[in-house]
Amino acid sequence: GALLSGVNLIGARANKNTTWPDGFDPTVAGVIFD
């Protein structure tokens, strides 16, 4: 899997079908959900 520790995803877009690694909070990383 990908190492997403410290990643900046501000402005990245995702939807309900996007999967994330356990323990990763996309909202904190700045992901926008459609």
pLDDT score for 18: 96
Which residues lie closer than 8 Å to 25 by C-beta, 6 or more apart? none
Residue count of the chain: 34
The one-letter amino acid code at 21 reads: P
Residue-range definition of the domain harbouring residue 34:
1-34
pTM score, two decimals?
0.70
What does the pLDDT read at residue 4? 83
How many helices (H) and strands (E) the chain has is answered by: 1, 2
Residue-wise pLDDT tens digits, 1-34: 788 888 889 999 999 999 998 888 999 989 999 9
Distances in Å between the Cα of 28 and the Cα atoms of 20, 24 are 13, 9
What is the count of structural domains for the chain? 1
Q: Which residue has the tokens 């990763």?
A: 24
Asked whether 32 and 10 are in contact (CB, 8 A), the reply is no
The tens digit of pLDDT for each residue in 20-29 reads 988 889 999 8
